[in-house]
Amino acid sequence: MINPFERRIVESIGMETPIIEAVKLTKSYPHCLALDSVTFKIEKGEIVGLIGKNGAGKTTLIRLLTGIAIPTSGTFSILGVSDPEKLVALRKSIAAMVETPALYLNLNARDNLLTRCILMGIKNPVKSGYVKEKLDYVGLPGAFKDKRVVKNYSLGMRQRLGIAMALVGEPKLLILDEPTNGLDPEGIKQIRELLLRLNKDKGITMIVSSHILAELSKFATSYIFLDKGRIVEQVGAADLEKRTGKVLILKTSDDAKALSILKGASFEAELVGDTLEVHDVKEGAIVLNLLVKSGLEISAMREESNDLEDYFVKLVGGDKA
* pLDDT tens track for 238-288: 888 777 767 889 999 999 999 999 999 988 899 988 889 888 777 788 899
31 three-class SS: coil
95-133 burial, b for 16+ CB within 10 Å, e for fewer? bbbbeebebeeeebbbbbbbbbbeebebeebeeeebbbe
Decide: helix, strand or coil at residue 92: helix
Nearest to 65 by CA among 180, 148, 174: 174
Q: 47 by DSSP, 3-state: which?
A: strand
Q: In the Cβ-directed half-sphere of 110, how many Cα atoms lie within 13 Å? A: 13
pTM (predicted TM-score): 0.78
Distance CA 247, CA 96 (A): 38
Q: Which residues pair with 231 in a beta bridge?
A: 226
Domains, the chain: 4-239 (3.40.50.300), 244-316 (3.30.70.270)
Give me the sheet containing 268-272, strands edge to edge. Answer: 268-272, 275-279, 245-252, 298-306
Of all residues in the chain, the percent with pLDDT exceeding 90 is: 63
What is the average pLDDT value for the chain, to the nearest integer?
88
Cβ atoms of 96 and 166 closer than 8 Å: yes
Side-chain half-sphere of 138: how many Cα atoms within 13 Å? 25
- Convert the pLDDT of each residue in 22-74 to its tens digit: 999 999 999 899 999 999 999 999 999 999 999 999 999 999 999 889 999 99
- What is the Cα–Cα distance from 5 to 100, expressed in whole angstroms? 32
Q: How far apart are CA 137 and CA 149, in angstroms?
A: 20
**Among the residues of the chain, which ranges form H helices?**
4-12, 58-65, 84-89, 109-119, 130-137, 155-167, 185-202, 213-216, 237-243, 255-264, 284-293, 308-316
Distance CA 240, CA 252 (A): 26
Torsions phi, psi for 189 (to 5 deg): -60, -40
Q: For 211-219, what is the mean pLDDT?
A: 90
Question: Any idea which of 11-25, 68-82, 98-112, 174-188 has the lowest mean pLDDT?
Answer: 11-25
